[in-house]
Amino acid sequence: MIFSNPSGAPELACDECGCRWFDRMHDCCYECGAKVSPESMAEFRKALETWGQSKASLENQGRSKAAASEPDGAER
């Protein structure tokens, strides 16, 4: 099960109880101990990658617009 958090980032959630806390050493849920299936992990990684790419392109667009008002630029 994959959720998106408020910032749009994908979050992996337990198929059994829907919680989002996982023991990353063992790939299982902290709440109910359900194993994360390799399919879910693969799907989550893909979602993360897709999100990372769209975020990067968004940030590039934002940067060119915001560049003029950046405090860093004004100080130097």
CA separation for the pair 2, 64 (Å, rounded): 32
- Interaction between residue 67 and Zn ion (CB under 5 A): no
Using DSSP, state whether 1 is helix, strand or coil.
coil
Q: How far is the CB of 38 from Zn ion (least distance, A)?
A: 17
Q: How far is the CB of 26 from Zn ion (least distance, A)?
A: 13
Q: How far is the CB of 29 from Zn ion (least distance, A)?
A: 3
Q: What string of DSSP letters covers 21-67?
A: -EETTTTEETTT-PBPPHHHHHHHHHHHHHHHHHHHHHHHHHHHHHG
Q: How many of the chain's residues bind Zn ion (CB under 5 A)? A: 7
Site string for Zn ion, 2-21 (x = CB under 5 A): ------------x-xx----
- Given the rule CB under 5 A, which residues bind Zn ion? 14, 16-17, 29, 31-32, 34
